[in-house]
């Protein structure tokens, strides 16, 4: 029997999602949990939908494994073996040949940045330019290699609130660092450092080449990976994940207030001098 699991993680303490010997990774922690419940990743044909870099977070990544029909593998069983910063919260029974990477319909990423100093209308215009099918070689870490960097972005939406901008990218697949490089490009246009003509040139790598500096990983979330079927949410696991998120929101919210007070105070002191 083959099962797919949807899982999330807080990326700040991981050296990426892909297994690396002697480094703490998401897959490294998953494999430890598998061993504790009698699953060998190779024999179980473990496959993961998406790899994320060090510091990147996920809400809806997906992996698949084979399990014995007689065993019950609801998310909470594996969660009991996992560290606090990884949570499996939904599952689905899938076809024997299911591959979460190959069979995904689309992937959704969100990148969050501070709103201050950014022309949102310029950023939205730039976002509309990168929608569709393009050669994103100038936005990938491995420029010039034989693999194609042609990808299709179904949508790029720019949303704002009081302090932050969220850029949501949905596409069939993404190259290495593509989302973070695109976030950099949109931010540069929003700050008036580049214009639309430059962005259009960047989408023609056979004529124009420029390396990008990717935006910091901590602002990136792998929000969802979509398939032509629904996952069953484990209510207990989902509520546990919500509690973990609530605790982090509270912790970082307090830190935000602490640093805001310090900033206000030092500004006042400087004005008095």
Q: Six-digit token pair at 13?
A: 């303490």
The radius of gyration of the chain's CA atoms, rounded to the nearest angstrom, is: 21
Active site (annotated) includes residue 53: yes
Q: What's phi and psi for 152, nearest 5 deg?
A: -115, 120
Give the span between the Cα atoms of 101 and 39, in whole angstroms.
21
Give the number of other Cβ atoms within 10 Å of residue 141's Cβ: 15
Give the span between the Cα atoms of 54 and 29, in whole angstroms.
14
Give the SS3 label for residue 217.
helix
Q: Which helix (H) or strand (E) holds 126?
A: helix 120-130
Instruction: Please give the biggest Cα pair distance in the chain.
Output: 74
Catalytic residue among 53, 85, 224, 234: 53
Report whether 23 contacts 6 (CB < 8 A).
Answer: no
- Strand residue runs (E) in 96-215: 106-114, 132-135, 150-160, 164-171
Contacts of 236 (CB under 8 A, 6+ apart): 76
DSSP β-ladder status, 164-171 and 57-66 = unpaired
Q: Six-digit token pair at 128?
A: 């509309």
Give the number of other Cβ atoms within 10 Å of residue 195's Cβ: 13
- Which residues are designated catalytic? 53
């Amino acid at each position: 029997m083959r099962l797919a699991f949807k899982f999330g993680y807080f990326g700040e303490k991981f050296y990426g999602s892909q297994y690396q010997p002697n480094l703490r990774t998401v897959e490294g922690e998953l494999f430890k949990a598998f061993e504790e419940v009698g699953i060998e990743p190779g024999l179980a044909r473990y496959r993961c939908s998406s790899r994320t870099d060090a510091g990147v977070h996920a809400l809806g990544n997906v992996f698949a494994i084979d399990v014995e029909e007689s065993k019950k593998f609801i998310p909470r069983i594996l969660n009991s073996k996992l560290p606090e910063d990884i949570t499996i919260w939904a599952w689905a029974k899938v076809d024997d040949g299911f591959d979460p990477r190959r069979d995904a319909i689309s992937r959704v990423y969100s990148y969050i940045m501070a709103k201050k100093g950014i022309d949102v209308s310029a950023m939205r215009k730039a976002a509309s330019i990168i929608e569709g099918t393009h050669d994103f070689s100038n936005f990938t870490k491995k420029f010039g290699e034989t693999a194609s960097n042609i990808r299709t972005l179904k949508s790029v939406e720019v949303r704002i609130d009081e302090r932050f901008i969220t850029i949501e990218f949905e596409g069939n697949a993404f190259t290495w660092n593509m989302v973070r490089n695109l976030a950099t490009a949109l931010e540069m246009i929003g700050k008036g450092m580049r214009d639309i003509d430059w962005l259009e040139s960047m989408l023609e790598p056979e004529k124009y080449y420029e390396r990008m500096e990717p935006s910091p990983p901590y602002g990136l979330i792998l929000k969802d990976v979509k398939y032509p079927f629904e996952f069953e949410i484990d209510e207990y696991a989902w509520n546990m994940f919500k509690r973990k998120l609530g605790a982090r929101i509270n912790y970082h919210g307090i830190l935000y207030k602490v640093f805001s007070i310090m900033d206000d105070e030092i500004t006042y002191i400087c004005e008095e001098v």
